[in-house]
Amino acid sequence: MTAEYKVHGGVAVLTLNNPPVNGLGYETRRALIEGLERAQADASVKAIVITGAGRAFSGGADIREFGTPKALQEPNLLTVIRAVEGAEKPVIAAIHSVCMGGGLELALGCHYRIAAPGCSVALPEVKLGLIPGAGGTQRLPRAIGVEPALNMIVSGEAVPSERLAQIPGQKLFDRMAASVDSLGEEALAFALEVAGRHAQGEPLPRVRDVRLKVPLGEAYFQFARNMVKGMAKGFPAPVKCVDAVQAATTKAFEEGLRAERDIFIDLMWTPESRALRHLFQAERAVSKIPDVPAEIPLREIKSVAVIGAGTMGGGISMNFLNAGIPVKILEMKQEALDRGVATIRKNYESQIKKGKLKQDKYEQRMALLSTTLDYADLRDADLVIEAVFEDLGVKEAVFRKLDETMKPGAILASNTSTLDLNKIAAFTRRPEDVVGLHFFSPANVMKLLEVVRGEKTAKDVLATVMALAKKIKKVAVVSGVCDGFIGNRMIEQYSRQAGFLLDEGCTPAQVDRAIEKFGFAMGPFRMGDLAGNDIGWAIRKRRYVEKPGLKYSKTADLLCERGRFGQKTGAGWYDYAPGKRDPIESAEVIAMIEEHRKTLGITPRKISDEEIVERLVFALVNEGAHIIEEGIALRASDIDIVYIYGYGFPVQRGGPMFYADEVGLYNVVQIMKRLAKNPYDDAEFWKPAPLLARLASEGKTFN
């Protein structure tokens, strides 16, 4: 049962009931049509109310049907809306809580609408690279006017019902109910009232019949198009929203509807929309851990302790303070604590200056922060996150101390970025309570959190930190234990390729430009200068010992030997004017690269942007395939999430694994075979990972 049918005193009430948000899936659509027919066939029914059970009127399309034939199976949404609009008895939408996408389009097809205050109303299709496809672009302008409708459709943002009700002359809401609680009763009374008027001969109003009052000219839409184009970052859908709304002002209703449909179908096939829809699904999949039951009882996290008030400890603490969770930071010395707290204050104060934080909120947050030099003060914390120096000996001392001190059941987390979590867990007598929480820098800004699952990490610990991640507004991805976890393990291959490209003939700026044109927020060399080239240097020094056979370009080491660590030393791959962050090509670095090339005996060649992108991106893809196969990542789409939220991978490409799917895995393998022939590259690395080779030969995809 996905829509209930009940008659109350001459009014048939159709209640959508398809949890969690009454998505308009096939069964729900059928139930709506059946309910409409039944109500019209029943002479005792004078009017029909459509409403939603639980937490929403309707959130729109049922995402479980995305990309399946069921989404379009008749009765599709257009058919349902046509049936509602064409009903012979008045149909009233009783709207509350959430009314979005197809839900709003359905409501717009009703003859009347009554809404509760506090309802989020939106046409969010643009966020999936689409436009509303069931009349939204044609009916909403008729209901609230062109400009407000255009704003909603282009932005996809939700607007509260009470704000929409204030638009002068609006026809979206015929009535506002006093509250959600009284909506049901008020809707019934309103339904009988309009039924009475209808019985007296008043025709049923239809939004489609509204004449758009101000026939806005081409100039207005051209202006809107230019504005939107500037903000759309190359995504086609926002501009198409303008086209569709313009059609509502220039075409007859049915013709406008057809124009909307044509645009909708075109957009469905664009790579941008495919990528956005992939990421939408990926974000929903990422929190699911197959062997951890959804209903597993969680541990309560009411207070957090952080060990180390350095770069990461401070940022990590802010996440919890922002979410209203008290934090106690422990350091070795008072000066370190004072420095750490001062950095947190400075961070908040700069947010206040930018108008992003109110003074009272700031004070509330700081009041939740306390510090200590004594482990005994941490005893009662529910979660402790270690963020001390990246040194196994230091971590050992900290975890032994935590094991002695912390109350039973406390979760012990490490923010290590490279060390073996299983070893860290083994320093305690409770490895089941140990988990990795790998935050990214700056930890109060970056959305990504890698949750590192140790061999012995308990399921409820995992489920608890995944839920906590949501609370502090992070996107958490589960990773198994390996060097670098998902993100950094892959980036190492990308960086290695960037180095080879310099040796073979590129300049840093050429590599950065090519990959930024592909859509990355920042190329590898600009990124190195920002993060500090010394970090990679330290990792490589370790690698030279651990894996002496592995091939690296030495150019980055030469750079570091000159002390060019990046922006923090005023020079890196690029030069920087004092106090400025704009990269300037460096004659010194280019000469250094050329010199090194000579010692390698390489004659530089012209390398195309296409090759640069292939080598950098497919290096990620091949390592990603190994990571899935080894079970380090649960699914390919988790890797895409890591790269979108942690590494500036272009959203419109959907993440490295999705991008490879779009290129076609067979093609990816062919390119890798070609790259393997380059004598200056690492042929061994370009052997397609077994998973990739298998999927390619079977004509399958990662996602």
Tell me the catalytic residues: 105, 125
- State the nearest-atom distance from the C-beta of 442 to ligand NAI, in Å: 8
Considering only the stretches 209-217, 259-267, 394-402, 457-465, report the one whose residues sit in contact with ligand NAI under the rule CB under 6 A. Answer: 394-402
Amino acid making up residue 641: I
Diameter over CA atoms, the chain: 96
Considering only the stretches 26-34, 216-224, 389-397, 519-527, report the one whose residues sit in contact with ligand NAI under the rule CB under 6 A. Answer: 389-397
388 binds ligand NAI (CB under 6 A): yes
Indicate the residue among 61 and 478 with the shorter CB distance to ligand NAI. 478
Contact 401, 375 (CB under 8 A): yes
Q: CA distances (Å), 50 to each of 112, 387, 409, in order?
A: 10, 54, 48
Indicate the residue among 272 and 331 with the shorter CB distance to ligand NAI. 331
Would the CA dihedral through 672, 673, 678, 682 be positive or negative? positive
Considering only the stretches 39-47, 393-401, 551-559, 686-694, report the one whose residues sit in contact with ligand NAI under the rule CB under 6 A. Answer: 393-401
Contact 379, 405 (CB under 8 A): yes
- State the nearest-atom distance from the C-beta of 488 to ligand NAI, in Å: 9
Indicate the residue among 368 and 413 with the shorter CB distance to ligand NAI. 413
- In angstroms, the CA 495 to CA 504 distance is 14
Amino acid making up residue 212: L
Indicate the residue among 450 and 503 with the shorter CB distance to ligand NAI. 450
Would the CA dihedral through 562, 566, 570, 574 be positive or negative? positive
- Cβ partners under 8 Å of residue 401, min gap 6: 375
- State the nearest-atom distance from the C-beta of 322 to ligand NAI, in Å: 18
Place of tokens 């979410």: 323
- State the nearest-atom distance from the C-beta of 416 to ligand NAI, in Å: 5
Indicate the residue among 260 and 331 with the shorter CB distance to ligand NAI. 331
Indicate the residue among 47 and 413 with the shorter CB distance to ligand NAI. 413
Considering only the stretches 386-394, 518-526, 569-577, 682-690, report the one whose residues sit in contact with ligand NAI under the rule CB under 6 A. Answer: 386-394
620 binds ligand NAI (CB under 6 A): no
Distance of CA 71 to the CA centre of its chain: 23
Q: Is the bond preceding 271 in cis, omega lying within 30 degrees of 0?
A: no
441, 569, 678, 701: which one binds ligand NAI (CB under 6 A):
441
Considering only the stretches 147-155, 348-356, 411-419, 633-641, report the one whose residues sit in contact with ligand NAI under the rule CB under 6 A. Answer: 411-419
Query: Which H or E run includes 91?
Result: strand 91-95
Site string for ligand NAI, 324-353 (x = CB under 6 A): ------xxx---x-----------------
- In angstroms, the CA 640 to CA 544 distance is 29
Indicate the residue among 18 and 343 with the shorter CB distance to ligand NAI. 343
- State the nearest-atom distance from the C-beta of 288 to ligand NAI, in Å: 25
- In angstroms, the CA 100 to CA 222 distance is 27
- In angstroms, the CA 320 to CA 301 distance is 11
47, 307, 448, 616: which one binds ligand NAI (CB under 6 A):
307
SS3 61: coil
- In angstroms, the CA 425 to CA 667 distance is 43
Considering only the stretches 49-57, 60-68, 302-310, 668-676, report the one whose residues sit in contact with ligand NAI under the rule CB under 6 A. Answer: 302-310
- State the nearest-atom distance from the C-beta of 348 to ligand NAI, in Å: 18
Residue whose CB is nearest to ligand NAI in the complex, by number: 310
317, 417, 479, 703: which one binds ligand NAI (CB under 6 A):
417
DSSP 433: G
- State the nearest-atom distance from the C-beta of 158 to ligand NAI, in Å: 34
398 binds ligand NAI (CB under 6 A): yes
Contact 441, 314 (CB under 8 A): no
Considering only the stretches 123-131, 287-295, 383-391, 551-559, report the one whose residues sit in contact with ligand NAI under the rule CB under 6 A. Answer: 383-391
76, 287, 303, 416: which one binds ligand NAI (CB under 6 A):
416
394 binds ligand NAI (CB under 6 A): yes
Contact 596, 554 (CB under 8 A): yes
Q: Give the DSSP per-residue string, 547-589.
A: -TTS---SHHHHHHHTT--BGGGTBSSEE--TT----EE-HHH
- In angstroms, the CA 61 to CA 438 distance is 35
Contact 555, 567 (CB under 8 A): no
313 binds ligand NAI (CB under 6 A): yes
- State the nearest-atom distance from the C-beta of 38 to ligand NAI, in Å: 60
Q: Give the number of residues in contact with ligand NAI, rule: CB under 6 A.
A: 25
451 binds ligand NAI (CB under 6 A): no
SS3 3: strand
Indicate the residue among 330 and 411 with the shorter CB distance to ligand NAI. 330
Indicate the residue among 103 and 524 with the shorter CB distance to ligand NAI. 524
* Spatial CA neighbour of 605 closest among 501, 518, 688: 501
SS3 55: coil
170 binds ligand NAI (CB under 6 A): no
Q: CA distances (Å), 416 to each of 83, 381, 498, 531, 633, in order?
A: 59, 20, 25, 17, 18
Contact 402, 380 (CB under 8 A): no
- State the nearest-atom distance from the C-beta of 363 to ligand NAI, in Å: 25
Indicate the residue among 646 and 688 with the shorter CB distance to ligand NAI. 646
Chain residues binding ligand NAI by CB under 6 A are 307-313, 330-332, 336, 387-390, 394, 397-398, 415-417, 438-441
